[in-house]
Amino acid sequence: MTKLDINDMLTSYDKKNLTIATVCSHSSLQIFNGARKEGFKTIGIAVGEKKKYYDAFPLGKPDEFLTVNNYKDIFKYSNELKEKNAIIIPHGSFVEYLGADNFLKLDIPTFGNRNVLLWESDRNKERVWLEGAGLTMPEEIKNPKDIDKPVIVKYHGAKGGKGFFIAKTYDEFLRRIKKGKPYTIQEFVMGTRYYLHYFYSPIYDDAFKLSKGSLQLLSMDRRDETTIDEVQRLGSIAELEEIGIHPTFVVTGNIPIVMRESLLPKVFDMGAAVVEESLSLFGGIIGSFCLETVVTEELEFKVFEISARIVAGTNPYIFGSPYSELIQPDLSTGRRIAQEIKLAAKKNLLEKILT
């Protein structure tokens, strides 16, 4: 649990002059672009010389750079950032580079509820949360000897699917498993993948109403994962495995997608249940989050993961998605985050959306 008190952190802040800061990676072009559209100044935290690349995108680059030797040095600059009334927008790379413990200790107002990290990063707690919300997750196989159908083996803390592998039998599992690395075995769910991008606001009521605040669906994507997504160019996965070529699950990009409209009520019911459960477990998941799902041929959703902040899958939609366009033209997740901060500042409710 973070011991930081958001009201203390905000006492010195000029709420009419907030700036938006994030690490230059992941979804930062979108975050800076969205903040700019809502009239915020922005700070890009970068290791090494990143300016050159950002100069190539004038509408996505930050107004100023804070160049650090390594990400943990952000702590040394926390006073400087606070003097600039900075609000941190965390994304997946931000949390990864800084490390979860450091992220929880960072003494700068941060968008969203940082305590969600404890529920998201522990696979058992994540299951308690999502199953408690009534969602169906892939079956977990506790004993590898019980593997009697395709499973996916996931190493703990592996980033971007690195090292994950498919096994169909116990023997295959034994051949592939790396000794000494903690892992989880999940049923490999057959179906089509949809990564659903939601936004929950505890302070805005004009969307899909919840017990407190409301929920929006801003977009959805499918991840492009090497080599699994194109390995069939060389032959079937079964054929390739016979000659020792095994597919991998490393994310390289994101593809925009829409879903058949009749599934949208389920999408909202799942998002709503996840938020309601989070409100009772740890005070609520605030802002953007993503449910990573597979839709089976029975049109049922199996949810294999939750990401509790802006995901890179929102990047195809810097200028809006087929869903967000029906909320407001030109609305990205980055821009929606900036709007939330603007609304909270205006209503004097910043402590409801920051930790």
Please give the residue ranges that form the binding site for ligand AMP (CB under 6 A): 138, 152, 154, 161, 164, 186-189, 193, 223, 225, 249, 292, 294, 304-305
Q: Answer whether 313's CB lies under 8 Å from 253's CB.
A: no
Q: Which one, of 30, 109, 40, lies nearest residue 349 by Cα?
A: 109
Q: Answer whether 81's CB lies under 8 Å from 54's CB.
A: no
| Distance of closest approach, residue 158 Cβ to ligand AMP, in angstroms | 7
DSSP per-residue string spanning 314-338: GGGGTT--TTGGGTSTT--HHHHHH
| Distance of closest approach, residue 204 Cβ to ligand AMP, in angstroms | 29
Q: What are phi and psi for residue 53, nearest 5 degrees? A: -75, -40
Q: Which one, of 213, 211, 250, 245, lies nearest residue 229 by Cα?
A: 250
Shorter beta-carbon distance to ligand AMP: residue 259 or 353: 259
Shorter beta-carbon distance to ligand AMP: residue 201 or 307: 307
| Distance of closest approach, residue 196 Cβ to ligand AMP, in angstroms | 13
SS3 for 349? coil
Q: Answer whether 153's CB lies under 8 Å from 146's CB.
A: no
| Distance of closest approach, residue 179 Cβ to ligand AMP, in angstroms | 21
| Distance of closest approach, residue 229 Cβ to ligand AMP, in angstroms | 8
SS3 for 51? helix
SS3 for 140? strand
Shorter beta-carbon distance to ligand AMP: residue 132 or 191: 191
Shorter beta-carbon distance to ligand AMP: residue 59 or 190: 190
Shorter beta-carbon distance to ligand AMP: residue 107 or 187: 187
Q: Answer whether 343's CB lies under 8 Å from 54's CB.
A: no
Shorter beta-carbon distance to ligand AMP: residue 240 or 294: 294
| Distance of closest approach, residue 304 Cβ to ligand AMP, in angstroms | 4
- Tokens standing for residue 76: 């040394």
